[in-house]
Amino acid sequence: MGKEKIHINIVVIGHVDSGKSTTTGHLIYKCGGIDKRTIEKFEKEAAEMGKGSFKYAWVLDKLKAERERGITIDISLWKFETGRYYVTIIDAPGHRDFIKNMITGTSQIGYNPATVAFVPISGWHGDNMLEASANMGWFKGWKVERKDGNANGVTLLEALDSILPPSRPTDKPLRLPLQDVYKIGGIGTVPVGRVETGTLKAGMIVTFAPANVTTEVKSVEMHHETLESAMPGDNVGFNVKNVSVKDIRRGNVAGDSKNDPPMEAGTFTAQVIILNHPGQISQGYAPVLDCHTAHIACKFSELKEKIDRRSGKKLEDAPKFLKSGDAAIVDMIPGKPMCVESFQEYPPLGRFAVRDMRQTVAVGVIKAVDKKAASSGKVTKSAVKAGRPSGGGACGEKIHINIVVIGHVDSGKSTTTGHLIYKCGGIDKRTIEKFEKEAAEMGKGSFKYAWVLDKLKAERERGITIDISLWKFETAKYYVTIIDAPGHRDFIKNMITGTSQMGWFKGWKVERKEGGASGVTLLEALDSILAPSRPTDKPLRLPLQDVYKIGGIGTVPVGRVETGTLKAGMIVTFAPANVTTEVKSVEMHHETLEAALPGDNVGFNVKNVSVKDIRRGNVAGDSKNDPPMEAGNFTAQVIILNHPGTISQGYAPVLDCHTAHIACKFSELKEKIDRRSGKKLEDNPKALKSGDAAIIVMVPGKPMCVESFAAYPPL
């Protein structure tokens, strides 16, 4: 998103069934934040469920359902533009606990009605949202009077454009509480959250508190667009290098490491008002505090004084307890590491709600914070490099190769691979020491290097994204992505035969027409590898490994470029989904690429595409140069390796082709052939068995994109 327009945030509040979601969804649709096809789809689904009036609400409620299932919230769908602003709109949940407070609060809040635009609308029919409605002849328009300038109009859109944006405290040091942290294959670690004070820029060195992790910001994005500078109020995602999702988490706060960096709070003094507690609150009470994005139990360690809730005048020193309606000054101690600030210095990080018994029992503001002295925390290599004069190059100065480590079970693949990654700087010493301690506690001391990889395998089994960045290292010649393949009993015979014939090792030597090589070490052998030819002259083919939705960034497909090149600004088509869109950016190993080449494992950001539109197994291609298409059927040459019976026409096994995993029917057995020469042996065989080779016609059971081996071998 460019900065031609100011960005504002709007929250829609109201009780249950007041029409918040319908109004918000309709407004997003009318302002172009969602397309007509999607609305028509929701309308059809809602009608089938007998809930026709829900079609606009489902713009948001579909996302709520995703959130409940643990899928990333798509902030990009919650935004639209007015003539004056970029608007991020948030549909707050209605709850019965809020109704009483809303009725009481709005009658006592003390605002001046003359400064607020009251606009009648129909969230369902859309009356008076963007255009004046003929059904509201009685409404003569709204008018606001304020010292910053008067405004008037008729529609909701005009009222939104009349909003005065809040002051942006860009002069303060950076404070950005993390809403969540994502790990994206091919891109890296992406924290997301809202800038509360200061600015965030690519190249900045940031410190996360209380984690005490310091690293460099590689890029900053909002609503699919790269930002030069994120300002207060901006909901952003930012890519950081050499930081794991285990190092930082929701509730941590990012700040400029060179300008009042955030720190862990040892204790803090707060002014609290007890709203609704059924009993008495005494010293030692430990409810949960919701402060910015942190959700941590904090103990009332000392009740210092009871005060008048309106004047702040002291009423009593060291009260023994507090009850509903009381206000007090208290000292609090977080039960876990926490970062907060005084309300005077950083208001968004200095106010909190006290939660207990599933309700808000108190609210408060922080008067002072006793910060802990920072111990020596994690400082990434990129943070150290960023403090030095520029001397290194970008990712494109070395060639990228992929290496697969194979062998039978317990042959030491993971240990070897993990040790190599560690020695080549792909993982830090502190992490290895942590694995060593954990392995020793379990009586598995030899596993410390294997756990570099086996921890990720466990994550993958639990459905967490694989951290490709930890599986990479550099040699003098190459950027290497290393893959630790599972051991399998079928390989053991071949390995034993080969290794039993090996004499005493004198070093290695290879002879080839492209040039010989020799050496002793594994690293020398890796650097002697000849990079495979890169078919950049062919049109783009990139099978999708997965598709992620990142709050504040958007949709990020990931996969390996098989042929052609992928660049930002390119128009790509995904098949068989038949979706065409623009590529906003391309990244590999935390670095933005000008062009991704065959063999590169990348993530790329695309605009106005939902995770429901594309999926694993789809293929991306250049929409202007032989774009990929759905296969109706295809003719293939197959060899039957191992089948216990016979295979006849109609057999429908699952095909693993590139990243697709789809059942395909043997619709016609055209001819049986000699598996070595390819010579025809029989026309239209009735059955095939183990050892046979044949030419057959196949029909995918679901939409699928494949290519001929002659044109695109990987597909």
Could you tell me if 599 and 400 are in contact, meaning their C-beta atoms sit under 8 angstroms apart? yes
pLDDT at residue number 460: 30
Q: Which CATH superfamily is domain 634-711 in?
A: Translation factors (2.40.30.10)
Q: Which CATH class, in words, describes the domain spanning 265-371? A: mainly beta
Six-digit token string for 316: 């009593």
Domains 541-622 and 634-711 share a fold: yes
Task: Please tell me the pTM assigned to this model.
Answer: 0.52
Phi, psi of 411 (to 5 degrees): -85, -5
pLDDT at residue number 35: 66
β-pair type (327-334, 265-274): antiparallel
pLDDT at residue number 385: 56
Comparing C-alpha atoms, which of 451, 536, 525, 526 is closest to residue 482?
Answer: 526
Give domain limits for the chain.
6-162, 175-256, 265-371, 398-488, 541-622, 634-711
pLDDT at residue number 492: 37
| pLDDT beneath 50: ranges in the chain | 1-2, 63-77, 96-109, 388-396, 455-470, 488-503
pLDDT at residue number 92: 60
Tell me the CB-side half-sphere exposure of residue 238, using CA atoms within 13 A: 32
Could you tell me if 472 and 480 are in contact, meaning their C-beta atoms sit under 8 angstroms apart? yes
- Chain mean position to CA 367: 35
CA-based torsion, 357, 328, 176, 296: positive or negative: negative
Alpha helices in 352-428 (DSSP H): 381-386, 413-423
Six-digit token string for 84: 């004056």
Q: Which CATH class, in words, describes the domain spanning 6-162? A: alpha beta
- C-beta atoms surrounding 114 within 10 Å: 10
Could you tell me if 241 and 382 are in contact, meaning their C-beta atoms sit under 8 angstroms apart? yes
Please write the tens of the pLDDT for every residue from 107-116: 344 557 777 8
Q: Which CATH superfamily is domain 541-622 in?
A: Translation factors (2.40.30.10)
Token pair 């001391």 is found at 445
Q: Which CATH superfamily is domain 398-488 in?
A: P-loop containing nucleotide triphosphate hydrolases (3.40.50.300)
**223 membership: H or E segment, kind and range:** none
Please write the tens of the pLDDT for every residue from 377-410: 666 655 555 554 333 333 445 677 777 777 666 7
Task: Return the amino acid letter for 178.
Answer: L
Task: Return the amino acid letter for 309.
Answer: R
End-to-end CA distance of the chain: 35
**175-256 is classed CATH 2.40.30.10:** yes
Question: From CA 575, how far away is CA 660, in angstroms rounded?
Answer: 11
Question: From CA 697, how far away is CA 635, in angstroms rounded?
Answer: 4
pLDDT at residue number 442: 72
CB neighbour list of residue 408: distance below 8 Å, 6 or more residues apart: 487, 488, 489, 491, 492, 495
